[in-house]
Amino acid sequence: MDNISGDPTWQDKAKHISQRYLDCLTEADLAGVLALFAADGTVSSPLYGEQAAAAFYPLLFGDTQVSRLKLIDVLSNADQRTVALFFHYEWQLADGEWVQFDVIDHLRFNERDQITSLHIIYDTQASRPALARQQAKKPRS
């Protein structure tokens, strides 16, 4: 990450937290990813809607068999305490179907370097029908 606008300490922290976040996604590490969020942290997803991070990640990881991520770019703004991660995502759903797409995750941090909000931005043309097919296969309770 380039230190374009501010505190080099923030830049280092943002880089470390961003890499940890991507590692947790790849590993489906629920405890690890939730540790990065503030207690009231939220996620806004095109597939799952807006909800608490503590509710979102169990759903995502439950619908996932494999996640492969290739980081393309990282942009950060020290003044706003935000990071945008641009990456390619290969997602194998729990039923075995693969979808892939490019994603931008926009993360906002508090003064304790915890993620307070995450906005996930991507085209759901391939993933929405794949997830719907998987959910249709699940037994109804």
What are the DSSP calls for 25-93, one per residue? HHHT-HHHHHHTEEEEEEEEETTTEEEEHHHHHHHHHHTEEEEEEEEEEEEEETTTTEEEEEEEEEEEE
Regarding predicted confidence, which is higher, 131 or 100? 100
pLDDT tens digits for 56-96?
999 999 999 999 999 998 888 989 999 999 999 999 999 89
41 pLDDT exceeds 90?
yes
2 falls within a domain: no
Q: Is the pLDDT of residue 106 over 50?
A: yes
Domain for residue 45, yes or no?
yes
**Does residue 124 belong to any structural domain of this protein?**
yes
CATH number at residue 45: 3.10.450.50
Can you give the pLDDT at residue 64? 93
Tell me what pLDDT residue 6 has.
55
Domain presence at residue 31: yes
Range of the structural domain that residue 76 is part of: 8-134
Residue 140 counted as domain residue: no
| pTM of the shown model | 0.84
Interatomic CA distance for residues 38 and 23, integer angstroms: 18
Residue range 7-31: mean pLDDT, rounded: 88
Q: pLDDT-derived band of residue 134, with 50, 70 and 90 as boundaries?
A: confident
Residue 141: its pLDDT value, please?
A: 61
Number of domains comprising the chain: 1
